[in-house]
């Protein structure tokens, strides 16, 4: 998970908490509270850091112990958050549950990234490889729960929740690249089989997430709906056929678009609703949804032209494009990202590219 996206998700969580009445964000550690979810997630995160340290030091017994703790606590956070979602009977409770699910989803994402990065290490290698499948499944459960909860939330917080789902689910392919690198580097036969299966599962999870996000595109901030919806419409169904570098570039584009959302209050002087003025520098100062939709149509056409030949080949079963051709496409998309986000970032387009 990129640092930029993690910051987005955390910021969204904090924004949602601040927006809730004090009674809804009570700091009780009893079951069913955001604080209880946070407590379990924090313990999982601490174990993840210790797992990384043990792996670096080749401390197999310690690595196995910390892996068990990290997984157990992440599952506890998820279970508490999903229970909150299942018991939510009003908009306030639904928003509160959304905060809990965001925290749980972030922790699963951090755990999954750590596992896929460590799977090529000899320390507790088999246990780490086997832990990827249930971690992917756990993260998917959180995303499904969050998606099902969005319509129950106050209208003002739905774009936040939808952006969390999009960011956590469809905005990063780091895990795919980690697993592909591990397989390329050579693994023991038995581990290779587990990691090969894990790579397929992670790719499938991204595909599932993209389908979920396509269903909630109308809940995303209006200004980015055409861009995100267009990209997802083009890649959904062929994720498993894309080489990791191309998939990473596509998800990096989603990540960059989401990462540039300057969330503001509904009463902002910028006008235009909750996200008034967003992308104005790109769209010639337009701030309305209709203007943004019109402008993004042309931008998406550019994306379509850049990616169309790769996607056509992937969908038809033709031979994979050459490495040089793929590199050229990636370079073109990177330039597009810079161009697309340069106005938002005050000309610091290089930062946009590095954030992906």
DSSP 3-61: HHHHHHHHHHHHHHHHHS-TTTT----STTSHHHHHHHHHHHHHHHHHHHHHHHTT-HH
Asked if 32 and 96 touch (Cβ cutoff 8 Å), the reply is no
HSE of 172 in the Cβ direction (CA atoms, 13 Å)?
24
The pLDDT value recorded for residue 112 is: 95
The pLDDT value recorded for residue 262 is: 58
- Name the DSSP class of 2: -
At a CB cut-off of 8 Å and minimum separation 6, what does 312 contact?
318
Q: Report the C-alpha gap between 356 and 260 in whole angstroms.
A: 12
The pLDDT value recorded for residue 121 is: 86
Q: Report the C-alpha gap between 75 and 41 in whole angstroms.
A: 9
H/E element, 152: none
Query: Tens digits of per-residue pLDDT, 286-345?
Result: 334 444 444 445 555 555 555 555 455 544 555 555 556 555 555 555 555 555 544 433
| pLDDT score of 243 more than 70 | yes
Structure tokens at 265: 């209050």
| pLDDT score of 270 more than 50 | no
Query: Tens digits of per-residue pLDDT, 102-114?
Result: 889 989 999 999 9
Q: Report the C-alpha gap between 299 and 230 in whole angstroms.
A: 10
pLDDT band at residue 146, thresholds of 50, 70 and 90? very high
Mean pLDDT of the chain: 74
pTM: 0.74
Query: Tens digits of per-residue pLDDT, 161-194?
Result: 888 888 888 877 889 999 999 998 888 888 999 9
Q: In the predicted model, what is the mean pLDDT of residues 83-103?
A: 90
């Amino acid at each position: 998970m990129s640092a930029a996206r993690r910051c987005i998700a955390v910021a969204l969580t904090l924004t949602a908490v601040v927006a809730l009445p004090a009674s809804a964000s009570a700091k009780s550690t009893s079951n069913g509270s955001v604080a209880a979810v946070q407590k379990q997630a924090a313990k999982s995160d601490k174990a993840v850091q210790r797992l990384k340290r043990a792996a670096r030091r080749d401390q197999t017994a310690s690595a196995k112990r910390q892996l068990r703790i990290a997984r157990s606590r992440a599952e506890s956070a998820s279970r508490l958050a999903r229970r909150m979602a299942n018991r939510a009977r009003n908009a306030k409770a639904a928003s509160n549950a959304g905060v809990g699910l965001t925290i749980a989803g972030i922790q699963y994402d951090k755990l999954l990234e750590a596992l896929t990065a460590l799977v090529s290490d000899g320390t507790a290698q088999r246990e780490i490889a086997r832990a990827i499948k249930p971690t992917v499944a756990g993260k998917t459960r959180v995303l499904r729960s969050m998606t099902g909860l969005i319509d129950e939330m106050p209208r003002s917080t739905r774009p936040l929740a939808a952006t969390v789902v999009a960011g956590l689910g469809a905005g990063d392919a780091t895990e795919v690249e980690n697993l592909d690198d591990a397989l390329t580097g050579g693994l023991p036969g038995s581990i290779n089989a587990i990691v090969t299966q894990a790579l397929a599962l992670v790719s499938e999870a991204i595909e599932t997430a993209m389908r979920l996000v396509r269903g909630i595109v109308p809940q995303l901030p209006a200004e980015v709906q055409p861009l995100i919806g267009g990209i997802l419409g083009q890649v959904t169904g062929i994720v498993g056929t894309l080489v990791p570098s191309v998939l990473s570039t596509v998800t990096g584009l989603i990540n960059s678009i989401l990462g540039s959302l300057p969330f503001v209050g509904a009463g902002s002087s910028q006008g235009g609703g909750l996200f008034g003025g967003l992308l104005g520098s790109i769209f010639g100062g337009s701030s309305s949804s209709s203007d943004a939709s019109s402008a993004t149509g042309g931008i998406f056409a550019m994306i379509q032209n850049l990616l169309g030949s790769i996607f056509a080949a992937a969908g038809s079963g033709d031979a994979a494009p050459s490495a040089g051709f793929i590199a050229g496409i990636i370079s073109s998309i990177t330039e597009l990202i810079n161009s697309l986000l340069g106005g938002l970032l005050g000309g610091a387009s290089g930062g946009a590219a590095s954030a992906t």
